[in-house]
Amino acid sequence: MTTPTHTTEAIEALFNEARKFPPPPEFAKHANAQPGIYEEAERDYERFWASWADKLEWMKPYETVLEWNEPFAKWFTGGTLNASVNALDRHVRAGRGTKIAFYYEGEPGDRWTITYSQLLDDVCRFANGLRKLGVKKGDRVAIYMPMIPELPVAMLACARVGAAHSVIFGGFSPDSIVDRVNDSHCVALITADQGWRRGNKVPLKANCDKAMESTPSVRHCIVAKRVGDAVEMQDGRDLWWSDVVAEQPATCEPEPMDAEDLLYLLYTSGTTAKPKGIKHTTAGYLVGVTATHNLVFDLKENDVYWCAADIGWVTGHSYIVYGPLCNGATSVIYEGTPDFPDKDRLWSIVERYKVSILYTAPTAIRTFMKWGAEYPKQHDMSSLRVLGSVGEPINPEAWMWYHEHIGGGRCPVVDTWWQTETGAIMIAPLPGITTLKPGSATKPFPAIQADIVNEQGESVPLGGGGYIVLKRPWPSMLRGIWGDDDRYVHTYWSRFQHMYLAGDGCKRDLEGDYWFMGRIDDVMNVSGHRISTTEVESALVDHPAVAEAAVVGRLDDVTGQAICAFVSIRSGFEGSKELGDELRRHVGEKLGKFTQPKYLTFTQELPKTRSGKIMRRLLRDIAEGRMLGDTTTLADSSIVAELQERAKAAAAAGKDE
């Protein structure tokens, strides 16, 4: 057996990336973030955040910037405001009502524009309808909708009347709706008849009907008409959206909300425990998303910004709805998938609306790589000037492909790290200041104090890896878990004293730049080496034959865990034992022989959620031959059965499948 090696690092930093991209001088000259911003924020971090709070519209000014009773924070106490007013009314009053808030494109090809004035009218009418139904300040309202304009309208209408919204991703099952609705006792459920996905109809109202058999707190179900097919409507409970807003005035008095009043709940889907209802309050959250959206994306007045996420996740809350609207931005909302009706759909949207800022996920980028550069080449992408990445660590080759084939080699790529819990971006480049490195999220946002620590909570020297922690409160931080303060303290604050544990592995290079290495539970222990799955995946994707890879640990009698790789190859290549051996050698050359995958399975696709995240939990189950957990959020469940057969065959034969 190999003798374990001992290290001061919690996770070994193995992969090395040397390419650098300093800011183009012309971009830097006109950037929103200018040199000195980090030093200014560090001199007085409360004052830095207060400067962004002062850009919001307050009904009553705040008195205190921060009250910190670890681990519970209160920001901007004494002040009152309303989120919908900050997203809409103040822009309209400033004479910008005719500015486009959203370009909307449905999957079937229907398109329209929505101005700030129109959006405000729609929000007020729906807010009045909610009030008429008895929805009031302090209530919770569940929203389960496709990516249609009624979704942000519903969120902002809830905010206007002081009800917290709980958006449930439209790919979740009825059981997931039940869990979330019952946990927070939602009084209403807002949905649509159906939605579109790859030309198929998604039965949203039918899912709600099934869920509402077990949700006694729901008094009303409001249904927007998207597809138009008949759906069951229960008298006294179910109402059409159009009837709710009929004859409602286009003005609605906004509810004054305390700075710390609940704006929304968003549930993180747990695999073993029940989902956690993450609490975000009003003022601090708006400050966090407004500041980060402005500086990280270098937002200008004439930009057309597109976050190609789903509003059902925190990325959509922060960077489709609240951040962009509070900044008065013009955004794009697209209902469907990137490959319908063909694999150039996203690039046709970029061309059509002259998108200048694009924010998407590494998983999507790697999928685009696999499809080939010929798809973006069919379209004029010259309007793009900033590219963003979100959701998981981006491997260097995907970063380079994004930079070259989507950004034309001229657009800064801002790789952002943050979480549902943090509310807003925590670590990311500021594109006018930061020298970019493919695969690195670079530096903490101004006023954010991050560190990397080992198992004992000691700061790891530059060049080392460990656990990412945050050591100072920030305005958009979660205020706890709904109904379970003890779980909040235990999950995030108990492992290391005075530090928020994010649950992610990270390394910091000799220049202090941060490189994320995936979730802590995605770290493999091979012969005493703690190896990040992300680093092995990056090494695999570095090979020209590989489009995408997912790596998990599998129990091994000799080494503790063995590395098990699932590899999707690019067109023009074929999975074989020879290619498998070549990939093992390639990983060994990049990271060291002890990181070579023992098991390697070729697959056309990897199991992903409908939001595009690889479900490594399922891959671990497949690798170990265990019963599978919940697969209801998978985009294509047939992939799992195929992988189970391939993995079994590979293990039995001791070769690549």
The strand pairing partners of 599, in sequence order, are: 564
The reported pLDDT for the residue numbered 571 is 82
Sheet holding 465-470, edge to edge: 450-453, 465-470, 500-508, 514-519
Under the banding of pLDDT at 50, 70 and 90, the label for residue 634 is low
C-alpha–C-alpha distance, residues 197 and 395, integer Å: 28
pLDDT of residue 617: 77
- For the cut 90, the answer to whether the pLDDT of residue 303 exceeds it is yes
pLDDT at 68: 98
Average pLDDT over residues 544-566: 86
Token representation of residue 581: 């051996």
Say what percent of the chain tops pLDDT 70.
92
* Dist CA 597 CA 582 (whole Å): 11
What are the pLDDT digits (tens) for 231-256?
Answer: 999 999 999 999 999 999 999 999 99
137-189 pLDDT, tens digit each = 999 999 999 999 999 999 999 999 999 999 998 888 888 899 899 999 999 99
| Predicted confidence (pLDDT) per residue in 36-54, tens digit | 999 999 999 999 999 999 9
Q: Please tell me the pTM assigned to this model.
A: 0.85
Residue whose pair of structure tokens reads 């098990």 in the numeric block: 564
Q: For the chain, what percentages of helix, strand and coil (3-state, to nearest 5) are there?
A: 35, 25, 45
- Give which of 437, 370, 445 is closest to 399, Cα–Cα: 437
Kindly state the helix (H) or strand (E) to which residue 146 belongs, with its residue range: none
pLDDT of residue 485 exceeding 70, the answer is: yes
pLDDT recorded at residue 3: 35
DSSP string, 425-462: --B---TTTPPB-TT--BSBPTT--EEEE-TTSPBPPT
pLDDT tens digits, residue range 96-150? Answer: 999 999 999 999 999 999 999 999 999 999 999 999 999 999 999 999 999 999 9
Q: What's the CA gap between 247 and 169, in Å, rounded? A: 30
Alpha helices in 199-328 (DSSP H): 204-212, 241-245, 283-296, 314-316, 323-326
* Residue 527: per-residue pLDDT: 67
* Res 653: pLDDT: 58
Asked if 493 contacts 501 with a C-beta cutoff of 8 angstroms, the reply is: yes
Nearest to 16 by CA among 452, 462, 439, 594: 439
- What angle do helix axes 116-132 and 150-161 make, rounded to 10 degrees? 60
Q: With contact defined as beta carbons under 8 Å apart, do 551 and 564 qualify?
A: yes
Q: How far is residue 258's CA from residue 68's CA, in Å, rounded to a whole number? A: 17
Q: Is the separation of the CB atoms in 9 and 465 below 8 Å?
A: yes
Is 286's pLDDT higher than 90? yes
What is residue 281's predicted lDDT score, i.e. its pLDDT?
Answer: 98
CA distance 487 to 270: 13
What pLDDT, on the 0 to 100 scale, is given for residue 1? 34
DSSP string, 412-431: -EEE-B--TTT-S--B---T
Considering the chain, what is the average pLDDT of its residues? 91
Dump pLDDT digits (tens) for 11-21.
666 667 789 99
pLDDT (0 to 100) of residue 192:
98
Domains and CATH numbers, the chain: 25-508 (3.40.50.12780), 543-653 (3.30.300.30)
For residues 326-349, average pLDDT:
96
